[in-house]
Amino acid sequence: MNEHVTLIGLGPMGQAMAGALLDGGHPVTVWNRTASRADDVVARGAVRAATPAEAVAAGGLVVLSLTDYQAMYDILGPVEDLGGKVVVNLSSDTPDKSREAAQWVRQRGGAFLTGGVLASAEIVGTEAAKVFYSGPAELLEAHEQTLRLIGKPHHVGEDPGLAQLFYLAHIDLFLVSLAAYLHATALVGSAGVSALEFLPWAVENLNTNSFLLPAAAEQIDRDEHPGDLGTARMMGASADHLLAASEAVGLDLDLPRAIKAHYDRAIAAGKGGDSWTRLIDGIRQPA
């Protein structure tokens, strides 16, 4: 018999997760603040609980997919006893919120896993979906077969905050690189170049950047930043030109100013002859 899952929170993500668990043959009980959002998954075989307490009582594995961690307290606060329950919170928030929540659940007799979902609702349940988990490794092991239906699980450590950190690090790369793409497209667009014309160059640039990372990671971990293949001073001059060119055509300057500030800081610290990876010092200690 497949493990029972209680799923609380039926936004786009929760609905997709409920669907994947039902498709995998699991009995699923759902609760959502706006009851009508459960209609589709109930039609597919989920059981609708009348209250959060009823949903939690239905089984041992309680998966949360909510806007933030405050929603967990709003929903589970009145339940009080979480004895024997494994709460898996797949909602985004800060690492500290996950650490506090792990303690809060433990105080009520339950066990807690943090999850950071690297997937949009359309790909939940497919090979492409990945989920970072942190908390007790044995807890993930015990429920891995079930949770695998949502996305491929990766345990990143015992600290409950780690899964949020990994998730946010991905958001960092995602949001900043997309913002850079838009800025670059606007820059060439100022001379009438269309986004489609620029597209192959943007794709090649982003792909090529990933080849720089293995050597960069080694330099960062060793705290050695030899500038033999290119220096922060040389790249800082490019950052100056990017800012000047953006200003000349009237673009928003927030992004090039932020990049230039990183280079300026490394050069002012006397590290202009080091590799660009030296900029991490100023990012770690901006003062």
> What are the distances in angstroms from CA 246 to CA 16, 69, 148, 267?
42, 40, 46, 22
Interface residue with ligand NDP among 6, 9, 61, 135 (CB under 6 A) is 9
Interface residue with ligand NDP among 2, 33, 158, 194 (CB under 6 A) is 33
Q: Which of these segments, 22-30, 113-121, 146-154, 273-281, binds ligand NDP (CB under 6 A)?
A: 113-121
Residue 46 binds ligand NDP, judged by CB under 6 A: no
Residue 65 binds ligand NDP, judged by CB under 6 A: yes
Interface residue with ligand NDP among 75, 82, 101, 147 (CB under 6 A) is 75
- As measured in angstroms, the least distance from the Cβ of 271 to ligand NDP is 37
Q: Which of these segments, 62-70, 151-159, 211-219, 240-248, binds ligand NDP (CB under 6 A)?
A: 62-70
Residue 117 binds ligand NDP, judged by CB under 6 A: yes
- As measured in angstroms, the least distance from the Cβ of 184 to ligand NDP is 25
Closer of 117 and 266 to ligand NDP (Cβ): 117
The three-state (H, E, C) secondary structure of 46-72, written as one string: CEECCCHHHHHHCCCEEEECCCCHHHH
Residue 10 binds ligand NDP, judged by CB under 6 A: yes
Residue 120 binds ligand NDP, judged by CB under 6 A: yes
- As measured in angstroms, the least distance from the Cβ of 185 to ligand NDP is 23
Indicate the residue whose CB is closest to ligand NDP: 11
Residue 180 binds ligand NDP, judged by CB under 6 A: no
Residue 34 binds ligand NDP, judged by CB under 6 A: yes
From the list 70, 71, 157, 177, the residue with the least C-alpha distance to 116 is: 157
Cβ atoms 9, 37 nearer than 8 A: no
Residue 71 binds ligand NDP, judged by CB under 6 A: yes
Closer of 34 and 285 to ligand NDP (Cβ): 34
For residue 144, the tally of other CB atoms under 10 A from its CB is 12
Neighbour-count burial for 165-191, b at 16+ CB within 10 Å, e otherwise: bbbeeeeeeeeeeeebbebbbebebee
What are the two backbone dihedrals, phi and then psi, of residue 92, each rounded to the nearest 5 degrees?
-85, 140
Size of the site for ligand NDP (CB under 6 A): 21
From the list 68, 30, 64, 69, the residue with the least C-alpha distance to 46 is: 30
Residue 273 binds ligand NDP, judged by CB under 6 A: no
Q: How far apart are CA 87 and CA 106, in angstroms?
A: 10
Would strands 111-118 and 130-134 be described as parallel, antiparallel, or unpaired? antiparallel
Q: How far apart are CA 97 and CA 203, in angstroms?
A: 36
What are the tokens at 106?
A: 């433990």
What are the two backbone dihedrals, phi and then psi, of residue 189, each rounded to the nearest 5 degrees?
-65, -25
Place of tokens 């220096």: 231
Interface residue with ligand NDP among 18, 19, 22, 32 (CB under 6 A) is 32
Residues that bind ligand NDP in the complex, under the rule CB under 6 A:
9-14, 32-34, 37, 65-67, 71, 74-75, 91-92, 117, 120-121
